[in-house]
């Protein structure tokens, strides 16, 4: 007769329990810590347990009233101390502030006393259960804190700027190897444990955006997607400037990536990434209406001054575009040509509008009486330019079409348009 031993090895069981504990959602983890500390078993352990905080960890006390009364779904926030304390030098950098004390909790044990307590024959099983949970809380919080410090060091450029192009490829295996070699963690920070932890955590970036922690561990392919998307968006501005006459081929995109960013991608890799991003090929993009085509028939650029309004702008209905002197990404040699021909890059086009009387409406903008303070501030230096197209009927619809095409072409509205027409 054959007997089967289904008993799981104690070390394996411990690893399984830890893995599941790391996968707890943040709010469930917070409730577990609170329940453990409010239990009668924890009170019995208090002579041998000191409640403290992880070394180097800080809690966001300025938001404590909100987060301490309700478990936050966000682990904490990253702050750029250089921006908070300008002029303090380079010693202050990025800092991570936890949103709850429970997320930075650490327990110190009098091991001799605890072992003596656990060895007593009348020691209740519930006491041992609470003690195991406290050790699991320590392990999770220590691993989380070490992980956050490694992220702050590895992705500092991205965290400060918020620009996707500064995000570095960073695998969980790389972070695991770094934590094993550089930190004094009592727990092994293997990729599997990091993966389980990363899946359930979110953090707030310095710009206020809440981002899943896994988003700070991009694979090389994800980073390459940002660069391909960036080049294709620049393509639209280049066509508007006359630098390009037709959209870039996948081969041309690959060449730009290697020349300007040192990223070597095959043409078919660019095509695959473009397909993943739902971006049409160059032939399809060339057939789409863009802002350059939508502004065909506009007047030449005119200085937005009282004299130009009196002499060159009629008191008739139409649509118009205002540009501020925000600079142009093209070389100085081309600036004169751009002034007479194609408009500069999208960031200098600050407003699109329509009116039944172009001269009056533009005069209102110039005097600051159009209830758009942001636009008036851009006109105050006297360097703004305007161009327009006369439309006797349907000028409001023409403005809506022009605004829509602008947003489709550049992926954002003009700076001073506070709402869509």
Average pLDDT over residues 318-325: 89
Would you call 369 helix, strand, or coil by DSSP? Answer: coil
Q: What's the pLDDT tens digit per position in 94-108? A: 899 999 999 999 999
Q: What's the pLDDT tens digit per position in 19-45? A: 899 999 999 999 999 999 999 989 988
What does the alpha-carbon distance between residue 298 and residue 321 come to, in Å, rounded to a whole number?
9
Q: Is the pLDDT of residue 122 over 50?
A: yes
What does the alpha-carbon distance between residue 328 and residue 28 come to, in Å, rounded to a whole number?
52
Of these ranges, 3-7, 169-173, 276-280, 337-341, the one predicted with the greatest mean pLDDT is 169-173
What pLDDT score was predicted for residue 14? Answer: 77
What does the alpha-carbon distance between residue 342 and residue 345 come to, in Å, rounded to a whole number?
9
What does the alpha-carbon distance between residue 117 and residue 42 come to, in Å, rounded to a whole number?
13
What's the burial of 240, exposed, middle or buried (CB within 10 Å: 0-12/13-18/19+)?
Answer: buried
What pLDDT score was predicted for residue 356? Answer: 94
Say which residues have a Cβ less than 8 Å from residue 21's Cβ, sequence separation at least 6: 136, 139, 140
Q: Is the pLDDT of residue 159 over 60?
A: yes
Q: What does the domain layout of the chain look like in residue ranges?
A: 10-216, 220-288, 292-410
Q: Is the CB of residue 282 less than 8 Å from the CB of residue 246?
A: yes
What does the alpha-carbon distance between residue 178 and residue 166 come to, in Å, rounded to a whole number?
21
CA dihedral 302, 308, 312, 318 (to 10 degrees): 70
What's the burial of 170, exposed, middle or buried (CB within 10 Å: 0-12/13-18/19+)?
Answer: buried
What does the alpha-carbon distance between residue 379 and residue 100 come to, in Å, rounded to a whole number?
47
Q: Is the pLDDT of residue 338 over 50?
A: no
Percent of the chain whose pLDDT exceeds 90: 32
What pLDDT score was predicted for residue 17? Answer: 87
The kind and range of the H/E element at 291 are helix 291-294
Percent of the chain whose pLDDT exceeds 70: 85
**Cα–Cα–Cα angle for 281, 169, 72, rounded to 5 degrees:** 105
The CATH code that applies to domain 220-288 is 1.10.10
What pLDDT score was predicted for residue 377? Answer: 87
Both structure tokens of 136: 């699991």
Q: What's the pLDDT tens digit per position in 222-260? A: 899 999 999 988 887 787 667 788 889 999 999 999 999
Q: What's the pLDDT tens digit per position in 343-395? A: 344 447 899 999 999 999 999 999 988 888 889 888 888 888 899 999 988 88
318-356: b (≥16 Cβ within 10 Å) or e: bbbbbbbeeebebeeebeeebeeeebbbbbbbbbbbbbe
Quick one: fold of 292-410? GIY-YIG endonuclease (3.40.1440)
Place 72 in a pLDDT band, splitting at 50, 70 and 90. Answer: low
**Cα–Cα–Cα angle for 197, 129, 136, rounded to 5 degrees:** 20
Q: What's the pLDDT tens digit per position in 299-316? A: 888 889 888 898 889 999
- DSSP at 24: S
Q: Is the pLDDT of residue 126 over 50?
A: yes
Averaged pLDDT of the chain: 82
Chain center to CA of 63 = 21
Instruction: Specify the residue for token string 């081309």.
Output: 334
Strand 105-109 with 94-98, pairing: unpaired
Which of the residue ranges 53-67, 198-212, 219-233 would you say has the lowest mean pLDDT? Answer: 53-67
Which of the residue ranges 215-219, 396-400, 406-410 would you say has the lowest mean pLDDT? Answer: 406-410
Q: What is the number of alpha carbons within 13 Å of residue 389 lying toward its C-beta?
A: 16
Plot region of 223 (φ>0 → left; ψ -120 to 50 → alpha; else → beta): alpha
Tell me the pTM. Answer: 0.62
């Amino acid at each position: 007769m054959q007997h089967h031993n289904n008993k799981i090895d104690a070390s394996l069981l411990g690893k399984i329990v830890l893995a599941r504990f790391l996968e707890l959602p943040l709010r469930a983890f917070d409730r577990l810590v609170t329940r453990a500390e409010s239990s009668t078993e924890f009170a019995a352990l208090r002579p041998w347990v000191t409640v403290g905080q992880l070394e180097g960890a800080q809690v966001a006390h300025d938001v404590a009233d909100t987060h301490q009364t309700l478990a936050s779904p966000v682990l904490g926030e990253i702050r750029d101390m250089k921006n908070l304390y300008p002029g303090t030098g380079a010693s202050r950098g990025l800092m991570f502030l936890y949103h709850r004390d429970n997320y930075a909790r650490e327990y110190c044990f009098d091991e001799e006393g605890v072992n003596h307590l656990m060895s007593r024959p009348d020691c209740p099983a519930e006491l041992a259960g609470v003690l195991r949970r406290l050790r699991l809380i320590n392990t999770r919080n220590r691993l989380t804190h070490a992980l956050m410090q490694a992220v702050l060091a590895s992705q500092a450029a991205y965290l400060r700027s918020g620009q996707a192009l500064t995000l570095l490829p960073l695998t969980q295996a790389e972070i695991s190897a770094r934590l094993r070699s550089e930190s004094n963690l009592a727990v092994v920070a293997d990729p599997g444990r990091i993966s389980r932890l990363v899946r359930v955590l979110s953090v707030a970036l310095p710009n206020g955006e809440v981002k899943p922690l896994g988003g700070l561990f991009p694979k090389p392919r994800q980073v390459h997607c940002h660069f391909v998307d960036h080049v294709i968006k620049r393509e639209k501005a280049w066509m508007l400037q006359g630098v390009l006459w037709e959209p870039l081929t996948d081969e041309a995109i690959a060449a730009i990536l290697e020349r300007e960013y040192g990223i070597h991608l095959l043409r078919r890799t660019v095509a695959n990434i473009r397909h993943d991003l739902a971006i049409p090929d160059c032939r399809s993009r060339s057939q789409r209406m863009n802002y350059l085509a939508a502004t065909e028939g506009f007047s030449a650029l005119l200085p937005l001054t009282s004299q130009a309004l009196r002499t060159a702008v009629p008191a008739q209905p139409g649509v118009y575009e205002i540009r501020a002197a925000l600079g142009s990404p093209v070389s100085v040699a081309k600036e004169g040509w751009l002034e007479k021909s194609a408009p500069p890059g999208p960031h200098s086009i600050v407003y699109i509008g329509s009116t039944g009387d172009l001269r009056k409406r533009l005069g209102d903008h110039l005097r600051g009486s159009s209830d758009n303070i942001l636009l008036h501030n851009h006109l105050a230096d006297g360097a703004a330019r305007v161009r327009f197209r006369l439309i006797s009927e349907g000028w409001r619809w023409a403005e809506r079409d022009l605004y829509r095409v602008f947003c489709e072409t550049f992926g954002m509205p003009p700076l001073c348009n506070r709402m869509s027409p």
